[in-house]
Amino acid sequence: MSCFDIKNLNLYYGDFQALKGINMNILKNNITAFIGPSGCGKSTLIKSLNRMNDLIENCRITGKVELFGESIYGDMDVNLLRKRVGMVFQKPNPFPMSVYDNIAFGPRTHGIKSKPQLNEIVERSLQDAAIWGELKDRLGKSALGLSGGQQQRLCVARALAVEPEVLLLDEPTSALDPISTGKIEELLLTLKNRYSIIIVTHNMQQATRISDYTAFFLLGEVIEFGPTENLFSMPVDKRTENYITGRFG
Amino acid sequence: MNIKKMKPTELIMHVLTWGAAILTICALIYLIGFILLKGLPYLKPSLFSLTYNSDNVSLMPALISTVFMTFLSLLIAAPLGIGAAIYLAEYVRREGRFVTFVRMMSETLAGIPSIVYGLFGMLFFVNALRWGYSLIAGAFTLSIMILPLLMRSTEEALKSVPDVWREGSFGLGAGKLRTVFKVVLPAASPGILAGIILAVGRVVGETAALIFTSGTVAQVPSSALKSARTLSVHMYVLSGEGLHMGEGYATAVVLLVVVVAINALSASLAKKIGAGDK
Amino acid sequence: MPNGDIMNKNKSFSLEILMRGVFLSCAAVSILAVLLICLFLFANGIPGIGKIGLLDFLTGTSWKPNDIPASFGILPMIVGSCLVTLGAISIGVPIGVASAVFMAFCCPKNLYKILKPAINLLAGIPSVIYGFFGMAAIVPVFGNSIISACILLGLMILPTVIGLSESALRAVPEQFYEGALALGSGHYRAVYRVALPAAKSGVMAAVVLGVGRAIGETMAVIMVAGNQARMPKDMFPIPKGLFRGIRTLTANIVIEMGYAAELHREALIATGVVLLIFILIINLCFGDTLRRKKQ
């Protein structure tokens, strides 16, 4: 079953066309990786899946994006969409508040006020993000004091706390050291049973390690999209082959 | 740098530059030293009695009025200034005609001399609105005067909040309001507070805008509609009467202490913003 | 151009829209304030100017509100304001700019840590305190005079000039200074011939703000300037004439407003109008300079 169904999506920043006629069917409970050289549109696409591009001035979109059959650019409430489609950013961005308040921010946004319920959500989210053991004694401390890797896992936990259906990750490990990167990758593999995960990465090894499907982007187009094994072992398109064998990008 | 090896022109410039800086420092030391020298001998307990009479020349009522005046003006100006800054920093995507006009007007406000504010306050609040010489007329006048300062400092504080926090909040499904109030404003609060404290400094030091709006009655006002003089106005009145110059200098010492404290507080908050950025 | 843009950007809750309106109204307050200020000053000042006659008011050389018939010429005060401003600038700007050069290029780090807050403090000291200082420290030497007012105002604009010039100097790319050194120019030559001209617009902004502050300053001037309405011909021979008193526009208002009535009062408000127009003109002419300093 597909979670995202993208049909003929075009996106413009002013006069510049950043995405050109994207058609994709992203499957549920899988990890899908977007790869390609910088500026190829992979981050732009992931941001149009939870409408973060709404924040950018001069950005216009045509086409259709459906989340489990519902058009996200139609009548759907943006805030509700972003609750269903969580996002983790390139740079860890915990809010300048305590660990607890960071995790509770999302649930509180969506109307959960009872303390016991929040406590439970905080513990469950941190456990799901495999960071409960490290943080359970410092829930009241500022999240800005954590290491970069911890901060990013905290951000994953924060995204999980609103019980999303899909998790978008925009180069989540590009600012992290190899050990922290490893921890995030492990985490994603354990999460894929319950969530559909889309990850943008500049790291091809990362895509082969964790993803089930991979899409290769170039200049705003999807060049090739298929099971990760196939794409990396026998790419159909010459440009894909050039990219994965390191001839450009 | 070796002074002996300098070319003559370099040496002259060296002397002039250092001379100017030393002159500036000396002027400050001289100013503060002079006020202390003249004022400290008159700093007696009677100066702090609760009621004013021409024997004790007490500054206490003026000090209390200053606190009231500060509080009232901030109560009026801070919400307006912060609200305006939120609009300019968080809601405006493109600098349109309205925003350019707002900025132009707030710059104009910042440049208007305080005596003109005083005249306006007298014509509008005191006469047209029939509030008479009163705390509230003075406070409204001052609140317009400090509005541009509050707007600018708050806007700068908001703009120093990294966008990634806004993105994070939107990404969790929070709306604009929640993002602004729960994420951006708390993060910007040290900067906003530093601006508010600078505004307090302006209020405390203001004289010309108050003489014809809040008047010069030397007692603690019983209500916001009563006339009252702040410390600065008190000093000005004493200087005009010429009978109690010693007490005037003693008042100057107290005012100076207040101003130094305000400056130190604002600076330490400003430092906090720098530290919070990482 | 793409058609059928599918983003619906305006969909949100009514509270969001309401608060957006509230914030927008807050932003509009500054417009309202300027309008009200202009409206009330002009409405109350212009009738007076009408009765006196614009030309008599602006170019009349005698201010005798209590004579019969009274005369309301503010030229002496306009001259007074311009003179003390000019004096303050010629004292404050060279010292201020040189101090800024010191702060930006010559100051040892430890000294800077003390100096910077000290300059900020100088900016925060209320004008009455400057006035008291002037009465006790400057007047005994120079008398209640033009020269006292110039010195005191020069001191008062110092922190404005230093602060803005310093940040302008710091904004000059390091390469300019280094490039000059590499050509064999000395430290000070590099600073004054290369860095300072590059920071020109910031220094100009500092001067404009200093002018604004000097023209608008009231309390400190009243306390040291003697406040006699006087024409330039009285100021000769220089330097003796400079030790005579002078009255500025601002002083005129504060000193007489307390007891003025009828036409006298209107004339004082009209004095305020003239002051306001001065400031508006300065803002209009140099607004660009002032705005550029921020970038």
- The DSSP-derived string for C162-189 is HHHHHHHHHHS-HHHHHHHHHTT--HHH
pLDDT of residue A76: 84
Q: Which of A95, A96, A162 sits opposite B173 (nearest CB)?
A: A162
Shared domain for B21 and B80, answered yes or no, is no
| Structure confidence by residue, pLDDT tens digits, C216-274 | 999 899 999 888 887 766 666 667 777 888 899 999 999 888 888 888 999 999 999 99
Shared domain for B224 and B267, answered yes or no, is yes
- Chain A residues with CB under 8 Å of B162 CB are 93
- Chain A residues with CB under 8 Å of B172 CB are 82-83, 86, 105-106, 109, 158-159, 162
Neighbouring chains to A with at least 3 Cβ pairs closer than 8 Å? B, C
Angstrom CA distances, B47 to B261, C83, C136, stand at 21, 39, 21
Residue to mutate among C93, C209, C219, C224, with most B CBs inside 10 A, is C219
Q: Which domain holds residue B15?
A: 3-42
CA gap C10, C268 in Å, rounded: 52
Name the more confident of B7 and A26.
Answer: A26
Encode chain B (278 residues) as per-residue pLDDT tens digits.
566 677 888 888 889 999 999 999 999 999 999 999 988 988 888 878 878 877 777 888 999 999 999 999 999 999 999 999 999 999 987 778 888 899 989 989 998 999 999 999 999 999 999 999 999 999 999 999 999 999 999 999 999 999 999 999 999 999 899 999 999 999 999 899 989 998 999 999 999 999 999 988 888 888 888 889 999 999 999 888 877 888 889 999 999 999 999 888 888 887 776 554 43
**What are residue A2's phi and psi, to 5 degrees?**
-95, 145
From C85, C83, C101, select the one nearest C209 (Cα to Cα): C85
Global pTM value? 0.87
Q: Are B16 and C272 a contacting pair at CB < 8 A?
A: no
Name the more confident of C12 and B239.
Answer: B239
Q: Are A83 and B173 a contacting pair at CB < 8 A?
A: yes
pLDDT of residue C71: 85
Shared domain for B34 and B144, answered yes or no, is no
Contacts of C145 (CB under 8 A, 6+ apart): C224, C225, C226, C242, C243, C244, C245, C246
Q: Which domain holds residue A197?
A: 2-244
- Chain B residues with CB under 8 Å of A80 CB are 173
Shared domain for B98 and B163, answered yes or no, is yes
Radius of gyration of chain A (CA): 18
Q: How many CB pairs under 8 A join A and B?
A: 65
Shared domain for B68 and B147, answered yes or no, is yes
Confidence of residue C195 (pLDDT cuts 50, 70, 90): confident
Report DSSP letters for C44-109, one per residue: HHHHHHHHH-HHHHHH---EETTSSS-EE--HHHHHHHHHHHHHHHHHHHHHHHHHHHIIIII--H
Structurally, chain B folds into a number of domains equal to: 2
Q: Are C7 and A78 a contacting pair at CB < 8 A?
A: no
Helices and strands, number each (H, E), in chain C:
14, 2
Structurally, chain A folds into a number of domains equal to: 1
Give the CATH number for residue A239.
3.40.50.300
Shared domain for B22 and B80, answered yes or no, is no
User: Exposure of A31 by Cβ count < 10 A (0-12 exposed, 13-18 middle, 19+ buried)?
Assistant: buried
Choose the weakest-confidence range: A159-168, C264-273, C277-286: C277-286
3-state DSSP assignment of residue A35:
strand
Across chain A, what does the average pLDDT equal? 90
Shared domain for B200 and B229, answered yes or no, is yes
Quote ipTM for the complex.
Answer: 0.89
The DSSP 8-state label assigned to residue A223 in this structure reads: E
Average pLDDT, integer, range C95-121: 90
- Using a CB–CB cut-off of 8 Å, the residues of C that contact A are 2-9, 11-12
Q: Which of B93, B175, B183 sits opposite A95 (nearest CB)?
A: B183
CB C161 within 8 Å of CB C97: yes
Task: Kindly list the structural domains of chain C, giving each domain's residue range(s) and its CATH number in brackets, ordered by start.
Answer: 87-244+275-292 (1.10.3720.10)
> What angle do helix axes B135-159 and B60-86 make, rounded to 10 degrees?
40
pLDDT of residue C237: 64
Shared domain for B8 and B92, answered yes or no, is no
Q: Which strand (E) or helix (H) includes residue B245?
A: helix B245-276
- Chain A residues with CB under 8 Å of B170 CB are 52, 55, 82
Shared domain for B137 and B213, answered yes or no, is yes
Domain assignment present for residue A150? The answer is yes
Q: What percent of chain A has pLDDT over 90?
A: 63
pLDDT of residue B265: 87
Neighbouring chains to C with at least 3 Cβ pairs closer than 8 Å? A, B
Contacts of A81 (CB under 8 A, 6+ apart): A50, A51, A67, A72, B173
Q: Are C6 and A61 a contacting pair at CB < 8 A?
A: yes
Shared domain for B97 and B232, answered yes or no, is yes
**Token pair 């790291």: residue:** A203
Beta strands A59-67 and A16-27: pairing type? unpaired
- Chain C residues with CB under 8 Å of B128 CB are 40
CA gap B241, C256 in Å, rounded: 15
Q: What share of chain B is helix, strand, coil (3-state, %, to 5)?
A: 75, 0, 25
Q: Which of C41, C162, C282 sits opposite B119 (nearest CB)?
A: C41
Q: Structure tokens of B101?
A: 């006009």
Confidence of residue A249 (pLDDT cuts 50, 70, 90): very low
Q: Which of A10, A61, A77 sits opposite C7 (nearest CB)?
A: A61
Q: Which of B207, B212, B239 sits opposite C257 (nearest CB)?
A: B212
For residue A13, the cross-strand partners are A16, A59
Domain assignment present for residue A249? The answer is no
Q: Work out the widest C-alpha separation in chain B, in whole angstroms.
A: 72
Q: Which strand (E) or helix (H) includes residue B110?
A: helix B97-111
Give the CATH number for residue B67.
1.10.3720.10
Shared domain for B22 and B152, answered yes or no, is no
- Chain B residues with CB under 8 Å of A110 CB are 173
∠B160-B78-B277 over CA atoms, to 5°? 15
Q: Are B24 and C162 a contacting pair at CB < 8 A?
A: yes
- Chain A residues with CB under 8 Å of B174 CB are 79, 105-106, 109
CB A187 within 8 Å of CB A130: yes
Average pLDDT, integer, range C148-176: 91
| Structure confidence by residue, pLDDT tens digits, C117-157 | 889 889 889 999 999 999 989 999 998 889 999 999 999 99
Shared domain for B13 and B137, answered yes or no, is no
